[in-house]
Structure 1
Amino acid sequence: MTNYLLPPFGQINLASLNEEYNAVVELDGHSISLDINFEKTTIEENLINIIKQFIENIPKFDKQNIVSILNEYNDENGETVKRYIDFHIEEYAQSELVKLIDYGNTAIAAEEQLLNKLKLERVGFYPDGKYDAESFAIFDYTFEGNVYLDGVRTITDQIIAVKTDSKGELEYLAWES
């Protein structure tokens, strides 16, 4: 079997892969970009089956990742998410952050409001290590409303990347741009 139907990407020829495949899916009312990146030109059917199962479980993995992000933020030894949130509070003008933070709400700290605005934007797959990726999948989180206009994000170009293995298990979190 050389052709494989991989929703939402469509038919993929396992014996003659493109370097990259792109698709968009809906999750909780917003669009998520998906991409698969291949180093090699062929792939075994068992590996493409793993990708298919992974895609089917993105809603579950998203919930796990949000818990991991919150746990890391609340961990006294956690640094990545805290630094990411603090950076945006310190470096961006209140006039820019008013899109994300209700400064009149004194019941919820600005940092917590910002943290609660993190949403999944993209899932990238690297099943054979394309771009020297060590992780099978990378989930990119950015602030809700941080959309692309003319190829540029409207609020920030910074993301929290949740890097996982082929079972969706957390390997580590990273702050990237």
Structure 2
Amino acid sequence: MTIKYFEEVDTNKLEDYYSKQLDIDSASIKVDLNFESPTINLDQVEKLNSCLVRLPEIIKKSWQWILNDYRTGEDVSEYISFHLDDFFEDNPEELLKGTDSSLDNKDRFLQTLKVNRIGIYPEAPENYLIIDWMTDPELSNYILVVNCNEGFELEYITVES
């Protein structure tokens, strides 16, 4: 049984953590696998491989969830407001450089978000896949975290540091 991109992993003698930089849609993204058990069965490997193959599609879905939360929820708006109103109130251009200046600052801030990390937890059905979106990590260590279940559907969005 082979795990896509992680061919060196012995599925019958797992370590708890594996990490690789993967090129996904022309972006280099850190992807890590996290295990609690020393082995993984064939069904889990197949689901994991399906997840890895579908990462570009899942990332696009997570972006839509972020936009939807921005329009109708609280977490994304709070994340943006924290950066623009509290963190970069005096000089928002430092954070917004390279974005479309014809948009309002909140929409411009959204343009700065990129996937920084994807964590996969094959033994955690409700937190199977975690996608960390960030603005420039040199400017902020706050993360907009999208949590997906094993069906690759949104569980929740939260902010972490």
TM-score clears 0.5: yes
- Report the equivalent of 1:17: 14
The amino acid across from 1:70 in the alignment is L
Shift of 1:96: 6.4
Contact 1:102 1:110 in 2 (8 A): no
- Report the equivalent of 2:140: 156
Structure 1 residues 89 and 171, CA gap change in structure 2 (3 angstroms): same
SS of the residue 2:36 aligns to? coil
Higher helix share: 2
- Count of aligned positions: 160
**2:79 matched to 1:84?**
yes
The amino acid across from 1:7 in the alignment is K
Higher strand share: 1
- Report the equivalent of 1:68: 65
2:7, 2:85 → 1: CA distance? 44
Residues 27-64 of structure 1: per-residue CA shift (max 9 Å, x gap): 23221100011111111111011011101001101111
Shift of 1:101: 4.1
Contact 1:163 1:170 in 2 (8 A): yes
Contact 2:2 2:11 in 1 (8 A): no
- What is the percentage of aligned positions where both structures have the same residue? 28
Q: TM-score, normalised by structure 1?
A: 0.83
Structure 1 residues 103 and 164, CA gap change in structure 2 (3 angstroms): closer
Structure 1: which 5+ residue stretches go unaligned?
A: 147-152
Q: TM-score, normalised by structure 2?
A: 0.90
**2:127 matched to 1:135?**
yes
SS of the residue 1:43 aligns to? coil
SS of the residue 1:115 aligns to? helix
Contact 2:84 2:92 in 1 (8 A): no
Contact 1:19 1:37 in 2 (8 A): yes
2:17, 2:128 → 1: CA distance? 15
2:2, 2:40 → 1: CA distance? 14
Structure 1 residues 104 and 117, CA gap change in structure 2 (3 angstroms): closer
Contact 1:103 1:110 in 2 (8 A): no
- Report the equivalent of 1:98: 94
SS of the residue 2:116 aligns to? strand
Residues 40-96 of structure 1: per-residue CA shift (max 9 Å, x gap): 111111101101110100110111111110011011xx1100000000001223446
Residues 81-125 of structure 1: per-residue CA shift (max 9 Å, x gap): 0000000001223446424246992x3101110012211111101
The amino acid across from 1:154 in the alignment is E
Shift of 1:134: 4.3
2:86, 2:107 → 1: CA distance? 16
